[in-house]
Amino acid sequence: MRALVSISAALIFSGALTLGAPSRITDPVSFVTEVYRHFVDAESAGSSYIPPKDIYTAGLGKLFREDEKRAKGEVGCLDFVFWVNGQDWTLTNLSVTGGAAGQDRKDVVARFVNIGTPQEIHFDFRRVAGHWLLEDVHSMKDPRWTLSQILKCAL
């Protein structure tokens, strides 16, 4: 019985470590594809999904923290899920591809239909100290927006 309790505790503890591990993006296209897969799975299961929040460059992370602080527990300047360009989602016709790339920059383009509306979202990734981080996001369909500008309450 003690062995069973010890094994259970070890599994729980190792699971907690895995859940708390920081996100590591080795390939931005694969990462964005995986995030959208989670959104599709959550929608089909009738649940919600919150993408990792430890994926932003220092500048974008700071804008998120400032927006949260300014909101004081209410909805901030960002009042929708930027990944799906809406508050709700039913994603179809999903395509994620690599765009422009350089040694320390990669763009990822996601095209999909969300609740009947075509979307095109561009993700700008930057390599910082050997790690890929999300630097900014742009919607290329009307209404057009840039995430960093929304977080500054500039729109």
**Does residue 18 sit within a domain?**
no
Per residue in 103-153, pLDDT (tens digit) is 999 999 999 999 999 999 999 999 999 999 999 999 999 899 999 999 999
Per residue in 38-88, pLDDT (tens digit) is 999 999 999 999 999 999 999 999 999 999 999 888 889 999 999 999 999
Q: What is the pLDDT of residue 100?
A: 85
Number of domains in the chain: 1
CB contact set of 40 (below 8 Å; sequence gap of 6+): 91, 94
pTM of the model: 0.84
Confidence class for position 4, pLDDT limits 50, 70, 90? very low
66: CATH = 3.10.450.50
**Does residue 17 sit within a domain?**
no
Q: Does the structure show a pLDDT above 50 at 13?
A: no
Q: What is the pLDDT of residue 20?
A: 54
Measured between alpha carbons, how far is 75 from 50 in angstroms, rounded to an integer?
Answer: 16
Top pLDDT among 95 and 18 is at 95
Mean pLDDT, rounded, for 28-38? 98
Where in the sequence is the domain holding 74, given as residue range(s)? 25-151
Smallest Cα–Cα separation from 153: which of 77, 88, 83?
77
**Does residue 16 sit within a domain?**
no
**What is the distance of C-alpha 138 from the center of its chain?**
13
- Tell me if 135 sits within 8 A of 57, measured CB to CB: yes
Please name every residue paired with 130 in a beta bridge, in sequence order, or none if there are none.
none
Top pLDDT among 17 and 27 is at 27
**Does residue 67 sit within a domain?**
yes
**Does residue 6 sit within a domain?**
no
**Does residue 7 sit within a domain?**
no
